[in-house]
Amino acid sequence: MADDVERSSLGTQTPPLHSAVMQINVGGTIFTTTSDTLRSCPGSRMAEIPCPPPSLRFVLDSAGRPFVDRDPTVFAHVLRFLRGGVLPPAGAESETLQEALYWRVEPLVKILEDSPRVFGENVGRKHFVAQVPNYQENLELVIRLARAEALAARLSRVLVFVQKIRPTTVHEGESGIPGLLEYAHATIVKYGPWTAEPGVTDLLDSVQTDIVNLGYHVEYRVIPEDRPFSLFREPSTSNDHGLYEFIFHWW
């Protein structure tokens, strides 16, 4: 059991002259592989497992297996790559990249950094949101407001005002605006303006993505034109700004 771990130095072991079967305990899951597989990426932490340098100390479980306190599901993606160059399934690229960085499996790191999903996230979306003023602060404000409304409620609704270019009279934190009706005491979180090419829908999708990545179930919708909010919109044919409602589902 992982609870029975004890610390021991493996630095005095004699390096095997041929490939040997090895077992590794990763977060309580036992992986069986060979020393050749682990050494297939020289310079990686994986390659140090069969014959650790004197400075490296492993935790051993009760059966004497090296114990690593990592996520076994993600570790399996890295091990499969070492076994036969198999890449992680779609949707697991980002977490596998972090695991490959930890184990210093540079060939896998390079492949994942160049993959469309990771490239788009790191080069596209992150650079876009960096150009939106107060993006992270507003994201945290949206979540705080939603959590404040969650008491004895199934849903929380947070109003978000998005403007890409032109100034507006609606400001972050402004409340009690005449005509808000059932949202008379609502706080409006304001995003923008920004000058990057992506538009309002891209910004809203990005906010939703970041909130979902934090474990929340959230969707957004535009406030219909026949609602009082339309009083605060400037005439526009490009839909560069408007009022939206983020809906958090709690149960």
- Tell me the C-alpha distance between 197 and 89, whole Å: 31
- Tell me the C-alpha distance between 38 and 49, whole Å: 7
Query: Is the confidence at residue 89, as pLDDT, over 70?
Result: yes
Per DSSP (E only), the strands in 149-209 are 155-163, 188-191
pLDDT in tens, 185-215: 468 899 989 988 889 999 999 999 999 989 9
Cis peptide before 50 (omega within 30 of 0): no
- Tell me the C-alpha distance between 141 and 139, whole Å: 5
Residues near 183 by beta carbon (within 8 Å), at least 6 away in sequence: 159
Give ∠ CA 47-28-100 in degrees, rounded to 5: 35
- Tell me the C-alpha distance between 217 and 225, whole Å: 26
Task: Determine which of 64-78, 169-183, 211-225 has the lowest per-residue pLDDT on average.
Answer: 169-183
Residues 39 and 50 sit within 8 Å (Cβ to Cβ): yes
Give ∠ CA 149-184-239 in degrees, rounded to 5: 90
Query: Is the confidence at residue 62, as pLDDT, over 90?
Result: yes
Helix residue ranges per DSSP H, the chain:
35-38, 72-84, 93-103, 106-113, 116-119, 126-129, 135-148, 200-213
Q: What share of the chain is helix, strand, coil (3-state, %, to 5)?
A: 35, 20, 45
Residues near 216 by beta carbon (within 8 Å), at least 6 away in sequence: 143, 146, 248
Assign 65 to helix, strand or coil.
coil
Residue range 150-177: mean pLDDT, rounded = 71
Check residue 121 and give its pLDDT. Answer: 77
195 Rama sector, left if φ>0, alpha if ψ -120 to 50, beta otherwise: alpha
Taking the CA atoms of 97, 103, 106 and 108 in sequence, report the sign of the dihedral they define.
negative
User: What pTM did the predictor assign?
Assistant: 0.57
Average pLDDT, the chain: 81
Assign 160 to helix, strand or coil.
strand
- Tell me the C-alpha distance between 99 and 105, whole Å: 9
- Tell me the C-alpha distance between 194 and 189, whole Å: 15
Task: Determine which of 14-28, 74-88, 150-164 has the lowest per-residue pLDDT on average.
Answer: 14-28
- Tell me the C-alpha distance between 99 and 74, whole Å: 7
* Domains of the chain and any CATH numbers: 2-114 (3.30.710.10), 135-249 (no CATH)
